[in-house]
Structure 1
Amino acid sequence: MTGGALPGLRVLDLSRVLAGPLCAQMLADHGAEVVKVEAPSGDETRRWGPPFVDEAETTSAYYQGLNRNKANVVLDLRLEKDRETLYAMIARADVVVENFKAGTMRRWGLEYESRLAGDFPRLVYCRISGYGVDGPMGGRPGYDAVLQAYGGLMSVNGEPDGDPLRVGVPIVDITAAHQAFAGVLLALMERATSGRGQLVDITLSDAVVSLLHPHSAAYLASGAIPVRTGAAHPTVAPYQVFRCEGEQLLFVAAASDAQFAGLVDVLGHPHVAGDPRFARNRDRVVNRTALLELIEPLFLLRDADELGAALLARGVPAGPVNDVGAALSAAQVRHRQMVVADGAYRGVGVPIKLSRSGARPARAPAALGADTARILAEHGFDLG
């Protein structure tokens, strides 16, 4: 293990809140040298608590989950001298990640298209915005929940007879972060051939639309507006949560005819697989109500853990509906090192496992401005 696949890559993280910081953290996890630049007041997510991880309440758990393995520098970019410092830092960077409001970098004389691309032709510049910088919505601010609504995601999330629901995690921001991470790596790969950097243009609106499968495919093929189906799959049955003995919840995904046959066999009613109403998946989807009336009572007679184990043994995907604590404590999650620690710091591990390169050991997020003097001295600035 070398501690990451990106040693020597220099990344300047000018972003705040979620998508940009998470993208930069992912680059840092894989060995990049990441410097996060914050305003004197700090990234606003430092105050997004409780819970906080310090008695002074200067660092929230929210912030801590997105900013490990980074050096931290404070610059007041309202000041010309600090913008000159930033320019010098960009000159030494391979990658810049930013999510300022549209027009901010131009106002500071640091816009990629009009200045930085010409001054630093090898620079990979990742810009993350709500809707992009042009078009009918260009330049408007974007927040995860608003984009879940705008992009159609809320319309397909929730119970059929209930209101549209926000997904319980900031899935649009997280998706945009992963797309930014991939975009940066693609641009770096292309740079290795061309010798030139480029703009990586990521928007939350693009990210949410990219999440709509299979509803988007169904709409584009049929013109029918998808509807909410709760925990059930819109085009596969049975593929949903079932209540077991003692109100335990079990998710079962019988996505093939063979899996369905295994399911009803484990439930003690193998003949159901031969019922013409349920012979194929399309039949089970069309006759979903009749199917559930038949099998839901059978689940209520079984212990969820016992039934789940029996289904897995028959090749039928099934698993408990864990809360967050149970998920982060699960034996397989810990075995996969998806919880990491550095002293008092604990965070979610690195999901991309590379057999030779590994990942950098977790280092707790730095205090605001902890590395300002060192980093600026390395760039030739005299702070005396």
Structure 2
Amino acid sequence: MRPADRTPALVSRLPQVGTTIFTVMSALATEHQAVNLGQGFPDFACDPRLLDAVDAAMRAGHNQYPPMPGVPALRQAMADKVRALYGLEIDANTEITVTAGATQAILTAILAVVHPGDEVIVLEPCYDSYVPNIELAGGVVVRVPLTPGTFRPNFDAISAAITPRTRAILINSPHNPSGMVWSEAEMRRLEEILAPTDVLLISDEVYEHMVFDGQQHQSAARYPGLAGRAFIVSSFGKTYHVTGWKIGTVVAPAPLTAEFRKVHQFNVFTVNTPMQHALAAYMADPAPYLQLSDFYAAKRDRFRAGLAKTRFRLLPSQGTYFQCVDISTLAVPERDLPEADFCQWLTREIGVAAIPLSAFYGDGFDQKVVRFCFAKKDETLDEGIRRLARL
């Protein structure tokens, strides 16, 4: 029997959403055998000890449903880490939840607290899941641009955007796509602005262990006025080079966690059991995450040194594993193309994939800036630089 010729009519929940730029550029990179410096994932293996820990967990019988909030040992390991690094005491039973990656964590937090008509502030450029998440909850997206060029927060604009209908604000540090890192003064300014309000904070901190040049990650957990109103999102995938595992955590005060878990139990319920046990065991040694900044700083410096020999203008990269460049100084006519078209040309003709920064703005704001990912093997970076040297 063939399906009916006429599909029932429907109204899309996300009518403006198509295939993401990351999928488009990765497919184009594969088609043209380009060096993929676009999508943000490592092309190198994780620590073999972590794989051994997964194997041990599976063989120990940890293959059935775990507790809905997450394996207790992993929640306790994360609570211990947050206390040691950021000075925040959290109850592993009532204030931390293991999630199916950071993207699910952010969606769940938004669905838990945003009601139809509530306003949610996003700082652009921003990761592409934020706005659709808010729209799925029936919220109203309020876009506040970060300062072009530096991508630092504009607190006058943030203050002006807060209204009696503001339910939450989303921040991200270290920042994807720009690599900007919020300072202590900026976090205290946000704490001051939010103090007289009931505005909640969703703090996307998935690159928390990739902060360079002696800086310190300014987690919302460090600031009582922020921690008391925040969902703080972390990612094991980013930290341990296992993005495909899709495991993260959300730290939040008990009342917020209770609401978060109401949604969590119905959109994923639980998260991969043996991986949770493996991560709990692996976290007994803090060295892998404590050394991560040095590891990625070396890759950043190698990549920047190579790019410095080209006509790209390098923007600062204070954190994450991303490097943004200004393309307006290139000596090729394609520099005048829109960023998205330039990235497609770069992939087809030069053999290197990048991501246009305009993809992170709702209005497609084009400032002649593209983003490269340097979470790659040294030989991958070197080959990418060799090809880019043609420019």
Bigger RCO (CA 8 Å, 6+ sep): 2
Same structural fold, with TM-score higher than 0.5 when normalized by the shorter chain: no
Higher CA-based Rg: 1
Q: Which of the five TM-score ranges fits, normalised by the shorter chain?
A: under 0.3
